[in-house]
Amino acid sequence: MSRIVIDSSKCKACYLCIKECPKNLIRVSDKTNKLGDRVVEFSDPDGLCLGCALCATRCPDLAITEVYKG
């Protein structure tokens, strides 16, 4: 199963990754960063992630630190 790892301490809530995900597996969470912005989270209950790394390629903050294809 493919997956991504998000370091939410690095997420600045620009949400560019959300638009990139072809399977819409990244969403705004309830957790906030230091500025009070709600950071993103990865949710893939059905195992749809392709491991394409488009999200990580787009993320300007290297907050998506790992992507695995499986």
Partner 1 sequence: METQVFKVPDSFKKDFKYTFCPGCDHGIAIRLVGEVMDELGIRENTIAATSIGCSVTIYDFLDMDSIEAPHGRALAVATGVKRANPDKFVFTYSGDGDFASIGIAESLHTALRGESISSICINNTTYGMTGGQLGPTTLMGQITTTSPTGRNVEYYGYPVKIAEHIALCDGTAFSARVSLDTIANIKKAKQAIKKAFEVQLQGLGFGFVEILSTCPTNWHMSPEQAHERVRNEMMPVFVPGVYKDVTNI
Minimum CB separation of residue 24 from partner 1 in Å reads 16
CB of 52 to partner 1, least distance (A): 8
Q: What Å distances lie between residue 14 and 2, 5, 48, CA to CA?
A: 24, 17, 23
Which residue lies nearer to partner 1 by CB, 37 or 44? 37
Q: Using CB under 8 A, list all residues that contact partner 1.
A: 1-4, 9-10, 12-16, 19-20, 37, 51, 53-54, 56-62, 64-70
Handedness of CA 31, 33, 38, 44 (dihedral sign): negative
